[in-house]
Amino acid sequence: MTIAVGDKLPDVKLMKAGEAGPEPVKSSEFFAGRKVALFSVPGAFTPTCSAKHLPGFVDKASELKAKGIDEIACTAVNDAFVMGAWGKAAGSSDVTMLADGNGELVSALDLVMDGSGFGMGKRGQRFSMVVNDGVVETLNVEAPGTFEVSSAEHMLGQL
């Protein structure tokens, strides 16, 4: 069943790029005790993700934090090295890049996208959510091929 507002996020292992290499991140610990703006993209360095989605959250980081967001996180079904490189290339020091390399998070959320037709395999759908102490407060899932409701601007209007 697809994750819904009011549901607790599943506890899965994600990864992030660290100084000494990939570092494990337990979702239950990452989201505990704070309000996180989480957004998911089909892939790092892909056109809409790089031109609009990530830059929107980078540009609006201070406004999101002014409205009570403690942390902004981006996830994709990519490895920690790719997510780390994309974060550096995009200048996103205000956005924590979380690798869902095995698709555990998007599978547990039931938000998997099949990008096999484009040679991308199974990926995460484009979505955003506000997670408060591990519980989903708002959820915005895009229709296939669209970028409307998961943007930073849309999230700001919801806060």
Cβ-contact 98, 14 below 8 angstroms:
yes
Cβ-contact 51, 129 below 8 angstroms:
no
Let me know if 49 is a catalytic residue. yes
- Letter string b/e over residues 21-58, b meaning 16 or more CB atoms within 10 A of that residue's CB: ebeebebeebbeeebbbbbbbbbbebebbbeebbbbbb
Neighbours of 114 (CB within 10 A): 12
* Structure-token pair, residue 114: 């099949």
Which of 3, 15, 17, 49 is catalytic? The answer is: 49
The catalytic residues are 49
